[in-house]
Amino acid sequence: MTESPDVPNPATLFSLDGKVALVTGASSGLGHRFSRVLAAAGAKVALVARRVDRLTALADQLPDALVLPADLADPAAATHAVDACVAHYGQLDILVNNAGRSVTVPAFDETTEDFATTLTVNVTAAFTLAREAARTMTGPAGRGGVVINVSSILGIVGSGQIPLAGYAAAKGALVNLTRELAAQWARRGVRVNALVPGWFPSEMTGDMMTDDRSLAWLAKRTPMGRPGRPEELDGALLYLASEASSYMTGQLLVVDGGWTAI
Whichever domain contains 141, its CATH number is: 3.40.50.720
How many CB atoms lie under 10 A from the CB of residue 131? Answer: 15
Dihedral sign of CA atoms 79, 84, 87, 89 in order = negative
Task: Give the model's pLDDT for residue 5.
Answer: 65
Q: How many CA atoms lie within 13 A of 104 on its CB side?
A: 10
Its domain, for residue 88, covers: 10-252
What span, in angstroms and rounded, lies between the C-alpha atoms of 51 and 133?
23
- Tens-digit pLDDT profile for residues 170-182: 999 999 999 999 9
Q: Write the single-letter amino acid at 26.
A: A
pLDDT in tens, the chain (262 residues): 455 668 888 889 999 999 999 999 999 999 999 999 999 999 999 999 999 999 999 999 999 999 999 999 998 999 999 999 999 999 999 999 999 888 889 999 999 999 999 999 999 999 999 999 999 999 887 789 999 999 999 999 998 788 899 999 999 999 999 999 999 999 999 999 999 999 998 766 657 777 888 889 889 999 999 999 999 999 999 999 999 999 999 999 999 999 999 9
Residues annotated catalytic, as ranges: 167
Residue 262 located in a structural domain: no
Q: Please say whether the beta carbons of 170 and 115 come within 8 A.
A: no
pTM for the whole thing? 0.94
3-state secondary structure of 206: coil
What span, in angstroms and rounded, lies between the C-alpha atoms of 158 and 73?
25
Residue 260 located in a structural domain: no
Task: Give the model's pLDDT for residue 139.
Answer: 84
State which H helix or E strand residue 171 sits in.
Answer: helix 165-185
Residue 138 located in a structural domain: yes
Task: Give the model's pLDDT for residue 197.
Answer: 97
- Tens-digit pLDDT profile for residues 19-41: 999 999 999 999 999 999 999 99
145 φ, ψ (degrees, to nearest 5): 175, -170
Residue 1 located in a structural domain: no
Domain count, the chain: 1
